[in-house]
Amino acid sequence: MIPSSMRFINFFAAVCLAVTLFQLPGEAMANELQITTTKQGDGPVAEKGMKVAVHYVGKLEDGTEFDNSRKRGTPIDFVLGSGQVIPGWEQGIEGMKVGEQRDLIIPPELGYGARGAGGAIPPNATLYFAVELMAVSMPASLGQLDSKGLLTAQKEGVVIIDIRRPEEWKETGVIEGAATVTAFDESGRLMPDFQEKFMSLVPTSDTAFVLYCRSGSRTNMLGRALMEQVGFENVSHLSGGIIQFEEEGNKLVPLN
């Protein structure tokens, strides 16, 4: 499956910490989420930490439809409780059973607030969603590899990606055979060309790949975001980075 542009938009927002809305204490008391169950479900219950798949139709107060997953034929999936969706969805989906349908009336404070969302959702909009829980599962976890595990994966044809900056490649060298795609600038901001370069190496969500950086901290964060926000399924990283790689007796090579 090819990750959608919307998933990458959500991913960029999460990695760059561009949070669109923080709920302030007491706001939900004055503007509470309204939930109406229109069809009971009989499957597993959606709980925090679970990956959920949800079909939905979203409308504004005047009845204008701004989004519809059923027309696309693919439900949205996300990890409940991870902050990937608006607070009204976090609260409205939790506790549903697979097969259950609900109507959600989400006040602006639990939706997109005074900012709105692009041209589709105006500022301070109350949102009306008809949602159906299609499936729940436990999300995949980020693989933690040592140097032996990385080299074994490389021999098996897994894509190895060095996400450091050019000056770091020049200073230390790189793991032989690794691809190089800078993920973050010196300020920690995601590079604007990262998506295009990354997708040229990892074209589908089930493509296996291993990330590495200097110490493993950047790849730990990036790997989790790519799984949770974009939907990549087979992601690992060198948990101790090139520091660990060299400490375990391996050599880096100059970048050509």
Of 112, 128, 232, 245, the active-site residue reads: 112
56 is catalytic: yes
Identified catalytic residue from 8, 11, 78, 86:
86
Does residue 128 have an active-site annotation? no
- Please check whether residue 69 is in contact with residue 75, taking contact to mean a CB–CB distance below 8 angstroms: yes
**Selected catalytic residue, list 8, 128, 129, 245:** 129
- Which tokens in the block code for residue 231? 């939907």
**Cα distance between residue 62 and residue 58, in whole Å:** 12
| 42 carries an active-site annotation | no
Confirm if 213 and 241 have CB atoms less than 8 A apart: yes
Residue 76 falls in the annotated catalytic set: no
In angstroms, what CA-CA distances link 184 with 15, 25, 131, 146, 199? 10, 34, 36, 23, 16
DSSP string, 4-36: PHHHHHHHHHHHTT-----PPTTHHHHS--EEE
Residue 230 in 3-state DSSP?
Answer: helix
Q: Of 8, 11, 56, 128, which is the active-site residue?
A: 56
CA distance 4 to 225: 15
Out of 67, 77, 103, 146, pick the active-site residue: 67
Choose, from 66, 103, 105, 146, the residue flagged as catalytic: 66
Are 179 and 197 in contact, with CB atoms under 8 Å apart? no
Q: Are 55 and 69 in contact (CB under 8 A)?
A: yes
Residues acting as catalytic residues:
56, 66-67, 86, 112, 129
